[in-house]
Chains A and B, each alone.
Chain A
Amino acid sequence: MSFALSSFKKDIARWRQDLMSTLIWVAIPLLIGGLITALMSGQGAKPHGTMLLLDQDESLFSELIAGAYSAGELGELISVEKTNIEDGTARINAGEASGFLIIPKGFGDAFLNSEPVTLTLKTNPAQTILPGIITEVTEILLDAGFYLHQLFGSEIQAIKNFGEHPDDALVAAMAVTLQNKFEAVAPQLFPPIIELSIVEPPESDPGTPLAVLFLPGIIVMAVMFSANGLANDYWREREQGTLRRLVYAPGQLSGFVIGKALAAAATISFIGGLTLALGLLYHGISWVKLPSSLLWIAVSGIALFAWLSLLQMSFSSRRSANVISSMLLFPLLMAGGSFFPLAVLPGWIAVVGRAAPNGFVTDRLTAEITAVGTWVIPPSSWSIVIIAAAAGLLACALRLRSGFASA
Chain B
Amino acid sequence: MLKVEELSKNYGDFVAVDRISFSAGKGVVFGLLGPNGAGKSTAINCISGLLQPTSGRAFVAGHDTVAESKAARQKLGVVPQELALYEDLSAVENLRYWGKAYGLRGDALDARVAEVLEHIGLADRAKDLPKEFSGGMKRRLNFGCGVVHKPPVILLDEPTVGVDPQSRARLFDLVEAERDAGACILYTTHYMEEAERLCDSLAIIDHGKIIAQGTVDELRAKLGARDVLQLSGSFPPDATRHAMEALSNNGNHDLEFVSQEQQSITLTLSNASQHLPAIFEAVSVAGGNVSETSLRSPNLETLFLLLTGKELRE
Residues of A within 8 A of B (CB): 2-3, 6-7, 10, 13-14, 17-18, 240-242, 244-252, 406
Binds A, one of B15-23, B82-90, B166-174: B82-90
Contact between chains at A241 and B74 (CB < 8 Å): no
A242 to B89 alpha-carbon distance, docked (Å)? 12
Binds A, one of B46-54, B200-208, B231-239: B46-54
Contacts of A246 in B (CB 8 A): 101
Binds A, one of B92-100, B221-229, B303-311: B92-100
A240 to B100 alpha-carbon distance, docked (Å)? 19
Contact between chains at A14 and B51 (CB < 8 Å): no
Contacts of A241 in B (CB 8 A): 80, 82-85
A240 to B94 alpha-carbon distance, docked (Å)? 13
Contacts of A250 in B (CB 8 A): 69-71, 73-74, 102-103
A to B CB contacts below 8 Å, 10 in the list: A2-B100, A6-B101, A14-B88, A14-B89, A18-B88, A245-B145, A248-B73, A248-B77, A250-B74, A406-B50
Contact between chains at A242 and B85 (CB < 8 Å): yes
Contact between chains at B84 and A251 (CB < 8 Å): no
Option from B82, B86, B98 in Cβ contact (under 8 Å) with A249: B98
Contact between chains at A245 and B78 (CB < 8 Å): yes
Contacts of B77 in A (CB 8 A): 248
Contact between chains at A247 and B100 (CB < 8 Å): no
B105 within 8 A of A: yes
A2 to B237 alpha-carbon distance, docked (Å)? 69
- Supply 6 further A-B pairs (C-beta < 8 A) apart from A10-B89, A241-B85: A3-B101, A10-B86, A17-B88, A242-B86, A248-B49, A406-B45
B76 within 8 A of A: yes
Contacts of B51 in A (CB 8 A): 406
A247 to B98 alpha-carbon distance, docked (Å)? 12
Contacts of B74 in A (CB 8 A): 250
Closest residue of B by beta carbon distance from A249 = B101
A6 to B80 alpha-carbon distance, docked (Å)? 22
Contacts of B70 in A (CB 8 A): 250-251
A244 to B85 alpha-carbon distance, docked (Å)? 11
A7 to B93 alpha-carbon distance, docked (Å)? 11
A248 to B102 alpha-carbon distance, docked (Å)? 10
Closest residue of B by beta carbon distance from A7 = B97
Shortest distance in angstroms between A252's beta carbon and chain B's nearest beta carbon? 5
Contact between chains at B102 and A249 (CB < 8 Å): yes
Chain B 187-204, CB-CB to A under 8 Å as 1, else 0, gives 000000000000000000
Option from A2, A6, A240 in Cβ contact (under 8 Å) with B97: A6
Contact between chains at B105 and A245 (CB < 8 Å): no
Shortest distance in angstroms between B19's beta carbon and chain A's nearest beta carbon? 23
Contact between chains at A247 and B86 (CB < 8 Å): no
Contacts of A18 in B (CB 8 A): 88
Known: A10-B86, A241-B84. A249 touches B97 (CB 8 A): no
Known: A2-B105, A3-B101, A6-B100. A248 touches B85 (CB 8 A): no
8 A Cβ contacts from B113-144 to A = none
Closest residue of A by beta carbon distance from B105 = A2
A17 to B97 alpha-carbon distance, docked (Å)? 18
A286 to B117 alpha-carbon distance, docked (Å)? 53
Closest residue of A by beta carbon distance from B48 = A248
Contacts of A2 in B (CB 8 A): 100, 105
Contacts of B50 in A (CB 8 A): 244, 247-248, 406
Contact between chains at A247 and B49 (CB < 8 Å): yes
A3 to B96 alpha-carbon distance, docked (Å)? 11
Contacts of B71 in A (CB 8 A): 250
A248 to B82 alpha-carbon distance, docked (Å)? 14
A57 to B186 alpha-carbon distance, docked (Å)? 110
Contacts of B145 in A (CB 8 A): 245
Chain B 144-161, CB-CB to A under 8 Å as 1, else 0, gives 011000000000000000
Shortest distance in angstroms between B267's beta carbon and chain A's nearest beta carbon? 45
8 A Cβ contacts from B36-88 to A = 45, 48-51, 69-71, 73-74, 76-78, 80, 82-88
Option from B69, B85, B103, B105 in Cβ contact (under 8 Å) with A240: B85
A6, A14, A245, A246: most-surrounded residue (chain B CB, <10 A): A245
A18, A241, A248, A252: most-surrounded residue (chain B CB, <10 A): A248
Shortest distance in angstroms between A251's beta carbon and chain B's nearest beta carbon? 5
Contacts of B45 in A (CB 8 A): 406
Contacts of B89 in A (CB 8 A): 10, 13-14
Contacts of B84 in A (CB 8 A): 240-242, 244-245
Contacts of B82 in A (CB 8 A): 241
A16 to B23 alpha-carbon distance, docked (Å)? 46
Shortest distance in angstroms between B153's beta carbon and chain A's nearest beta carbon? 12
A247 to B80 alpha-carbon distance, docked (Å)? 12
Contact between chains at A244 and B80 (CB < 8 Å): yes
Contacts of B102 in A (CB 8 A): 249-250
A323 to B216 alpha-carbon distance, docked (Å)? 53
Contacts of B105 in A (CB 8 A): 2
Shortest distance in angstroms between A65's beta carbon and chain B's nearest beta carbon? 74
Contacts of B83 in A (CB 8 A): 240-241
A246 to B70 alpha-carbon distance, docked (Å)? 13
Contacts of A240 in B (CB 8 A): 83-87
